[in-house]
C-alpha cells in the first residue's frame, strides 16, 4: 500500500522563492514547510527540486494534494 502524504496545512504557503533551487516537501512531514528537511526518510517520498531563475512570489501547496505540484491548485478547499 503506497504511503500517503501528511496534510501539513490547509492553506498554500505563499513565499518569495529564488533565484536558485529549492526542494519542495512532498511528504508533508517536514518541519520547514514548504521545504524539505529530510523527514521523508523511510517513506516512498522524495523532495521535488524546483529551480527559479529570478525571485518570484509562489503559492506552494501546503496540503500536498495538488494535481499541479508544487503549486497550489485549491485542493485544500475540498479536504
pLDDT tens-digit series, residues 13-22: 999 999 999 9
Residue-wise pLDDT tens digits, 14-64:
999 999 999 999 999 999 999 999 999 999 999 999 999 999 999 999 999
Residue 77 has phi, psi (to 5 degrees) of -75, -10
> Is the bond into 44 cis (omega within 30 degrees of 0)?
no
pLDDT of the residue at 18: 96
Residue that has been written with the C-alpha cell 496540503 in this structure:
63
- CB of 14 within 8 A of CB of 65? no
pTM of the model: 0.93
- Asked if pLDDT for residue 1 goes beyond 80, the answer is no
Predicted confidence at residue 72, as pLDDT, reads: 98
Q: Alpha-carbon distance 19 to 28, whole Å? A: 24
Amino acid at each position: 500500500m503506497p504511503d500517503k502524504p501528511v496534510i501539513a496545512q490547509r492553506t498554500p504557503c505563499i513565499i518569495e522563492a529564488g533565484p536558485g533551487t529549492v526542494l519542495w516537501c512532498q511528504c508533508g512531514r517536514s518541519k520547514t514547510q514548504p521545504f524539505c528537511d529530510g523527514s521523508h526518510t523511510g517513506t516512498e517520498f522524495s523532495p521535488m527540486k524546483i529551480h527559479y531563475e529570478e525571485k518570484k512570489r509562489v503559492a506552494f501547496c501546503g496540503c500536498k494534494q495538488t494535481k499541479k505540484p508544487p503549486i497550489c491548485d485549491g485542493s485544500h478547499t475540498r479536504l
